[in-house]
Structures are given as structure tokens and as C-alpha cells.
């Protein structure tokens, strides 16, 4: 009789345990849906001077600066006939990865957002293929901080070239 | 006599539960993320979605028209999209080169049939960056057409819907 009760209790405890696990699994599964508001406006807009550019590589966010000026802390500026090219210092992400890590709340990305005025500044993300998985999370934070955002894809090794003949990128919030 | 029976039942339940856990954990691990894209109408035009990706069989880039019409409300627009998909498929049945396919696509883009009703909304996968930057984007800019584009991670699923407010 004692053995049976013990087995019953064990079975019940086990079942409850399973139910709890199933509950958590289902809850976590729900979080894998992400909603994106794809309100898109025409691309050509004369707002270039208000654009603040950021480069996205994997889950790292590197600020380029207003109007595509190369932030001298992170990029070397090379002038060309029609504009300039920003070249990130080699081993920038290897030396201080946490500084640029999007998942680090004290990273340069969050500091940059705090230092900018969302009513006058648009954020333009230049996105490498390795960062596509993180783009929507990164821009969600910017939108929560009331920024309008735009983006443009870059190939993995493509240089960051800014030219007077370049493409204008409108906010796409 | 009762105890072995209970033992068997308990054991069976345990094994069954383990199977359920293993199944759920494996499906959870492999769960695909669904990106819900809400595209707006723009100046009265509806989005027509094009996926930029890479061909599985070769290294060439692909721009594929999305022929699912659930997001369109008007039957006439659904018909337009269906016709376009049908025509592109017929003309693209191995009878044309990729270059000719782009010419066909361009013809559609400049036709009044498309120009007055739709704008192109590109869904760009990491493998499709090249085809977007070198083919689709220059083409749409050359034709001075309105457009939208959004990045889609390679293995995420996505669903498209229409945001009906035309408030921009």
C-alpha cells in the first residue's frame, strides 16, 4: 500500500514537472515571432545633413558619424575625387568587442542614441550580410527611442564609400 | 500482481513523456523565426514583393516575385498579380537567359498596368545583397520608381500583410 502511494506520488510529480517544462517551451516558442512595420517612403529625400550613419557587422554596431563623416576613433578617412571612404581600423572589433556589442547595454550604440536628438536626426544603418540576423533587434531599440531609421545593404568586404553621386537613403520606419 | 502493472504503466508514461520532451526540445531548437512584415500602401499603390536571394543550384542571384496574394484586398489586384506571375513563369520557362528575364521584368515595371497600382518592395536575404545592389536597385532607380526594401535573415520565415493606412 505504501509502495503504491509512493509510486502514485512519483508519477504525479513527474507529470507536473513535464507540464511545467512544456509550458516554458511553449512560452519561449512564442518569442520567436517578430513584427516589423515596413512602412516605406520614397528613397530620394534631401535630408542628408541630418543622417547619422552606423555600420552593422554581425551583432556589433559601429558609429560612423553625422552625414557619413568617418568617426576618427574607429575609422581612417581616405579622400577621393567625389567624396571619401571610411576604413575601419583593423582589429577594432577584436580589441574591444564589448564596446560595440549590441547586447551590451553600456555599449557605444546606446551612448550614441542618448547623445542624438531623434527629432532632428535620422539613423541610417549600413548592414553587412553577417548582421541581417540582428538588424531588426538593433533598429527596434532605435525606434523605441523615437528615431526614424533607414538602411542599406553592403557586401561583407565592401568599402564604406560616401560620394556626392551616392544614393540617398530615406527613413523607413 | 498490482505492483508490476503500476511499474509498467509508470515506465510507459515516463518513456512517452521523454519522447515528447525530446521532440519538443528538438523542434524548439530548430524553431524558425517568423518575421511579420507590415507593408503600407504608398501614394495609393500597393506593395509587390520581390525576394532577393541566391540560386540554390548556382551562384547567381535571384529576384523572385512573391505570388501569394493574401495581403491584397481587391479582387482586381489579386488578378493583376496572378497574371503577372503567370506571364513571368511562362516567359521564364528556360526559354530566356537571366538577362532576358530582367528585360521582361523591366517591361512590366514600366507598363501602366504595374506603375499605377504597385510599387516594388524588396525582401533582401544576405545571399541576395549582390543581386539587389547590382541589378534590382539600379534598375528601379534608373526607372525612377518608388520602392521599399527590408532585410530578411537567411533562415527566417516571413509573412506579409498590408498596413492599410496611407498616412504618409
Q: Where are the domains of chain A?
A: 1-33, 48-163
Q: Can you read off the three cell numbers belonging to residue B99?
A: 538577362
CA of B127 vs chain A CAs: smallest distance (Å)? 7
Q: Do B13 and B53 sit in the same domain of this protein?
A: no
Contact assessment for residue B82 and residue B72, using Cβ atoms and an 8 Å cutoff: no
Query: Which residues of A are less than 8 Å from B151 in CB distance?
Result: 127, 132, 135-136, 151, 153
- pLDDT for A142 equals 94
Among A35-39, A99-103, B9-13, name the one with the lowest average pLDDT: A35-39
Q: Do B60 and B25 sit in the same domain of this protein?
A: no
Q: Do B16 and B66 sit in the same domain of this protein?
A: no
Q: Do B133 and A153 make contact, defined as CB atoms within 8 angstroms?
A: yes
Q: Can you read off the three cell numbers belonging to residue A147?
A: 528615431
A11 touches chain B (CB under 8 A): yes
A155 touches chain B (CB under 8 A): yes
Q: Is the pLDDT of residue B30 over 80?
A: no
B117 found inside a domain = yes
pLDDT in tens, B62-76: 888 888 888 888 898
Label residue A115 by pLDDT band (50, 70, 90). very high
Number of domains forming the structure of chain B: 2
- pLDDT for A46 equals 43
Helix spans in chain A (H) = 2-30, 92-95, 97-100, 108-115, 132-144
Given strand A83-88, what is the order of strands in its sheet? Answer: A75-79, A83-88, A160-163
Label residue A127 by pLDDT band (50, 70, 90). very high
Q: Do B51 and B116 sit in the same domain of this protein?
A: yes
Percent of chain A with pLDDT over 70: 78
Q: Is the pLDDT of residue A110 over 60?
A: yes
ipTM over 0.90? The verdict is no
Q: Do B38 and B53 sit in the same domain of this protein?
A: yes
- Distance of CA A171 to CAs A42, A121, B72, B99, B166, Å? 9, 10, 25, 32, 16
- pLDDT for A60 equals 94
Q: Do B121 and A129 make contact, defined as CB atoms within 8 angstroms?
A: no
B55 found inside a domain = yes
How far is B67 from B64, CA to CA, in rounded Å?
Answer: 9
Q: Do B74 and B152 sit in the same domain of this protein?
A: yes
Q: Do B97 and B153 sit in the same domain of this protein?
A: yes
**Residue in chain A nearest B166 by alpha carbon:** A39
B168 found inside a domain = no
User: Residue B147 contacts by C-beta under 8 Å, 6 or more apart in sequence?
Assistant: A40, A42, A43, B119, B120, B121, B122, B137, B140
**Which residue pairs, CB below 8 angstroms and at least 24 apart, start in B103-107?**
B105/B63, B105/B139, B106/B139, B106/B143
Which residue is it, cell 489579386?
A: B78
What average pLDDT does this structure show over A59-84? Answer: 86
List the Cα angle B64/B66/B72 in 5-degree steps: 155
Label residue A169 by pLDDT band (50, 70, 90). low
Q: Is the pLDDT of residue B1 over 80?
A: no
Q: Do A40 and B126 make contact, defined as CB atoms within 8 angstroms?
A: no
Task: Kindly provide the residue ranges of all beta strands, DSSP E only, lying in A14-169, ordered along the sequence.
Answer: 33-38, 51-57, 60-66, 75-79, 83-88, 122-127, 148-153, 160-163
Q: Do B42 and A7 make contact, defined as CB atoms within 8 angstroms?
A: no
- Considering only residues A45 and A148, tell me which one the structure prediction assigns the higher pLDDT: A148
Q: Do B83 and B46 sit in the same domain of this protein?
A: yes
Q: Do B81 and B16 sit in the same domain of this protein?
A: no
Q: Do B126 and A132 make contact, defined as CB atoms within 8 angstroms?
A: yes
CB < 8 Å from B in window 12-51 of A = 14-15, 18, 21-22, 25, 28-29, 32-43
Question: How many CB atoms are located within 10 Å of the residue A79 CB?
Answer: 8
- pLDDT for B93 equals 57
- pLDDT for A40 equals 43
Q: Is the pLDDT of residue A21 over 90?
A: no
Q: Do A25 and B25 make contact, defined as CB atoms within 8 angstroms?
A: yes
Contact assessment for residue A149 and residue A124, using Cβ atoms and an 8 Å cutoff: yes
Query: Which residues of B are less than 8 Å from A4 in CB distance?
Result: 2-3, 6
Q: Do A172 and B151 make contact, defined as CB atoms within 8 angstroms?
A: no
pLDDT in tens, B103-161: 888 888 888 667 788 888 999 999 999 999 888 988 888 888 888 889 999 888 888 88
- Considering only residues A139 and B99, tell me which one the structure prediction assigns the higher pLDDT: A139
- Domain ranges, residue B27: 1-31
Q: Is the pLDDT of residue A101 over 90?
A: yes
Q: Do B114 and B59 sit in the same domain of this protein?
A: yes
Q: Do B16 and B39 sit in the same domain of this protein?
A: no
User: Residue B114 contacts by C-beta under 8 Å, 6 or more apart in sequence?
Assistant: B48, B80, B84, B108
Of the spans A54-63, B26-35, B79-88, B97-106, which averages the highest pLDDT? A54-63
Given strand B46-54, what is the order of strands in its sheet? Answer: B61-65, B46-54, B118-124, B147-151
What average pLDDT does this structure show over A160-171? Answer: 69
Amino acid at each position: 500500500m505504501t509502495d503504491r502511494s509512493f509510486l502514485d506520488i512519483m508519477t504525479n510529480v513527474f507529470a507536473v514537472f513535464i507540464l511545467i517544462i512544456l509550458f516554458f517551451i511553449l512560452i519561449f516558442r512564442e518569442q520567436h515571432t517578430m513584427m516589423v512595420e515596413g512602412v516605406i517612403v520614397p528613397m530620394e529625400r534631401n535630408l542628408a545633413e541630418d543622417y547619422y550613419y552606423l555600420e552593422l557587422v554581425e551583432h556589433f554596431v559601429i558609429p560612423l558619424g553625422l552625414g557619413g563623416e568617418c568617426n576618427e576613433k574607429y575609422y581612417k578617412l581616405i579622400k577621393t575625387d567625389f567624396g571619401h571612404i571610411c576604413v575601419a581600423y583593423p582589429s577594432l572589433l577584436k580589441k574591444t568587442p564589448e564596446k560595440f556589442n549590441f547586447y551590451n547595454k553600456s555599449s557605444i550604440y546606446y551612448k550614441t542614441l542618448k547623445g542624438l536628438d531623434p527629432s532632428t536626426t535620422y539613423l541610417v544603418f549600413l548592414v553587412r550580410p553577417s548582421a541581417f540576423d540582428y538588424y531588426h533587434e538593433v533598429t527596434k531599440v532605435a525606434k523605441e527611442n523615437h528615431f526614424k531609421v533607414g538602411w542599406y545593404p553592403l557586401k561583407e568586404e565592401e568599402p564604406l564609400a560616401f560620394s556626392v553621386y551616392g544614393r540617398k537613403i530615406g527613413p523607413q520606419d | 500482481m498490482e505492483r508490476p502493472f503500476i511499474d509498467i504503466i509508470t515506465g510507459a508514461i515516463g518513456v512517452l513523456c521523454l519522447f515528447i520532451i525530446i521532440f519538443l526540445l528538438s523542434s524548439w531548437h530548430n524553431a524558425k523565426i517568423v518575421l511579420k512584415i507590415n507593408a503600407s500602401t504608398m501614394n495609393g499603390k500597393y506593395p509587390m514583393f520581390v525576394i532577393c536571394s541566391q540560386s540554390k543550384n548556382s551562384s547567381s542571384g535571384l529576384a523572385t516575385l512573391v505570388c501569394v496574394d493574401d495581403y491584397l484586398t481587391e479582387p482586381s489586384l489579386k488578378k493583376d498579380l496572378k497574371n503577372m506571375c503567370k506571364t513571368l513563369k511562362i516567359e521564364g520557362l528556360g526559354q530566356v537567359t537571366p538577362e532576358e528575364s530582367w528585360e521582361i521584368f523591366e517591361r512590366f515595371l514600366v507598363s501602366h498596368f504595374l506603375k499605377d497600382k504597385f510599387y516594388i518592395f524588396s525582401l533582401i536575404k544576405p545571399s541576395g545583397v549582390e543581386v539587389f545592389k547590382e541589378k534590382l536597385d539600379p534598375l528601379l532607380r534608373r526607372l525612377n520608381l518608388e520602392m521599399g526594401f527590408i532585410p530578411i535573415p537567411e533562415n527566417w520565415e516571413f509573412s506579409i500583410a498590408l498596413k492599410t493606412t496611407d498616412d504618409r
